[in-house]
Amino acid sequence: MTMKADFNAEEWDTLVAGPLMAAVQVVRAERGGTIRESLAVGRAYAEARRHHGDSELLDGMVASPPSLDPDRLRERGGDAKRLTTNRLAEAVALVDSKATDEERHAYKQFVLTVAEAAANANREGGFLGIGGKPVSANEQAALDEIRMALHQAT
């Protein structure tokens, strides 16, 4: 089993930031809803904590999730997307190089779960919440990019 001790401090920070980087990529895809999206991401982490014991790697990650300020990443403009994509790719490469097949799958599924939670948190379009879509085209594109990043290194 892979655990925190198998990574140096910088690697662990990168690995732990991966799910939030995916969520930030989705948040950046559309304006608005940041509070709802942040709450949804928090619920995804809380749900993962309820499954304690299923994966020592994920248990360590969700025990103290990192905090990122999506507004700070938005200020960086075009660099923010490259930053989130690169950090996610680094995290995937780390988990692919050190974790078991089962842990790799669990990590990548958790990243996707967190990103989907952010995407589904806020209805896009419509009027006063009526007739909108749960996931906008831009958010879906971000989710597709995340899925591709998660499976390219596999």
Q: How far, rounded to the nearest angstrom, does the alpha carbon of residue 17 sit from its chain's CA centroid?
A: 8
> What is the predicted pLDDT for the residue at 111?
95
Confirm whether 48 is domain-assigned: yes
Determine, yes or no, domain membership for 36. yes
Helices then strands, counting H and E runs in the chain, come out as: 7, 0
**Mean pLDDT, residues 51-75 taken together:** 73
Within-domain flag for 1: no
Tell me the pLDDT tens digit for each residue of 1-58: 888 999 999 999 999 999 988 998 898 888 766 788 888 988 999 998 888 777 888 9
Given a contact cutoff of 8 angstroms between Cβ atoms, the answer to whether 29 and 136 are in contact is: yes
Structure tokens at 86: 């690169």
Q: Taking the model in full, what pTM does it have?
A: 0.84
* pLDDT grade for 125, boundaries at 50, 70 and 90: low
Contact by Cβ (8 Å): 116, 143? yes
Q: How far apart are CA 102 and CA 86, in angstroms?
A: 24
Q: Does 2 fall in a domain?
A: no
Q: What is the pLDDT of residues 77-110, one digit of tens each?
A: 556 677 788 889 999 999 999 999 999 999 999 9
**How many domains are there within the chain?**
1
User: In this predicted structure, what is the pLDDT of residue 99?
Assistant: 93
Residue 101 belongs to domain spanning: 7-152
